[in-house]
Structure 1
């Protein structure tokens, strides 16, 4: 008697079970602790923004129902929407202008050959070693001399230059194959046409990552707006929250509501552009 073999029978390979060694267990516990420490302030801020003042301050006997009165007060009694508009305007303009000028500078430093190219790049790269407090006073003197104090131009123009963006874009352009430019030059294309029609479309992953970086950096900017502006109509959202906290030091429910509103754009950017950020990191070669 012969055994019949079922042709449709598939062999199932057993899954290897994860071995919980002391090292992996310690890393897992450490990851959970770090995640909780990271999430807890955000959860406390959001939940506290929906609570009345007596419950936030700890004077309530019983927990009260969540309320939207804190948000209504912040949006109606305080010019918080003006602060958010200023931050959005400054962040958006700085991001667009920085990406435009940085991409052109990085392309010239990476693909064009001219005397002093490496020296210029080293000078730009060396500025990454200088922190903001060191150049704060010289920058303020230059801006005051140009008459840009208490103006949108004073908030935007000094924030455009960022050596990190030029460095990252230059490294990305160096990794592109030179055959693309050679073929375009043979067809009679100029360097401007190559940059606009070939380089920029290939730069979308790295540009998307820098877009998020520049926007969030300027949205959370505090020191430079505090230095350059004194007009309440030019306050950005972080400076507005600091002023708001001084005025309502005992009303933490209002402060938490304002902080929640200010954090909302950054959270939306993360949730909606999370995939683009990860893909840009993988394709652009962050190291």
Structure 2
């Protein structure tokens, strides 16, 4: 198969993946009538910016943005910390039933997330954490995928440096934070970016847990602009464009490290 043919296929795929975002961008600059037209236009007839002004009028945008930022950053740092610890334990330490416990962790990945919603809600209710951002965060701070990713990466690292550090009297903590983690920066950046995108777009779980308007995250606040009988799609799409900027900007600045981490881990 020639490189030109592969390039054409990749280009077509890239265009198809970009089209929804392009239509969202176009609708955000259209009037109510134009946004409701069928079929949708590839370019706005009379571009307007009122939708971007109105999104800040209809929503307490700064509050919802900060709520999402707080949840996202907390999940990024907590998942990196906890998953690296667990991944190192499964890769290097020896304890009873290690492989069996790891298989149990992996089996959770196969469960649809929606199956766990009711049990998780009951746990939060018993803890008194319903309608709190802490409740949203608490049951999301652990990632089975993150444990698997770190474990596989740590297994691929040469063990000689760790053994030399043990001979010199270094503790497990010093080995992990001063030797292993510095060697794992590409993986950490890649995983951190994936967690950021996941947490920033988190919708169903916060929608169930949060009931107070002032504690809503940005995706929920934007989604609730849609009415039963009427929706101003221009305003909703403007909110969606603004909400999508943080992960896009973050990816643009970290894409080189992200690709290196994916290639280094052998992740497909």
Give the alignment's TM-score, normalised by structure 2: 0.91
Gaps of 5+ in 1: 1-17
Asked if 1 retains the 8 angstrom alpha-carbon contact of 2:206 and 2:217, the reply is: yes
Poorly superposed stretches of 4+, deviation over 6 Å: none
Among candidates 197, 202, 213, match of residue 178 of structure 2: 197
1:274 aligns with 2:255: yes
The alpha-carbon deviation at position 51 of structure 1 amounts to 2.5
Q: Aligned residue for 1:40?
A: 19
When residues 76 and 197 of structure 1 are mapped into structure 2, their CA distance, relative to the original with a 3 A threshold, is: same
Among candidates 159, 169, 193, match of residue 178 of structure 1: 159
| Residues 1-287 of structure 1 aligned to structure 2 (within 5 Å) | 25=5, 30-58=9-37, 65-246=46-227, 249-287=230-268
Give the alignment's TM-score, normalised by structure 1: 0.85
Gaps of 5+ in 2: 39-43
Structure 1 CA distance for aligned equivalents of residues 238 and 264 of structure 2: 38
Aligned residues: 263
When residues 89 and 249 of structure 1 are mapped into structure 2, their CA distance, relative to the original with a 3 A threshold, is: farther
Structure 2 CA distance for aligned equivalents of residues 270 and 247 of structure 1: 35
The alpha-carbon deviation at position 185 of structure 1 amounts to 0.7
- Of stretches 242-251 and 152-161 in structure 1, the one that deviates more from structure 2 is 242-251
Structure 2 CA distance for aligned equivalents of residues 52 and 193 of structure 1: 59
The alpha-carbon deviation at position 81 of structure 1 amounts to 2.4
Please list the CA deviations of residues 50-98 of structure 1 after superposition, one character each: whole Å capped at 9, or x if unmatched. Answer: 2233332349xxx654332211111133112222211111011011011
| Rg larger in structure | 1
Please list the CA deviations of residues 159-186 of structure 1 after superposition, one character each: whole Å capped at 9, or x if unmatched. Answer: 1111000001000001111111110011
RMSD value, Cα: 2.1
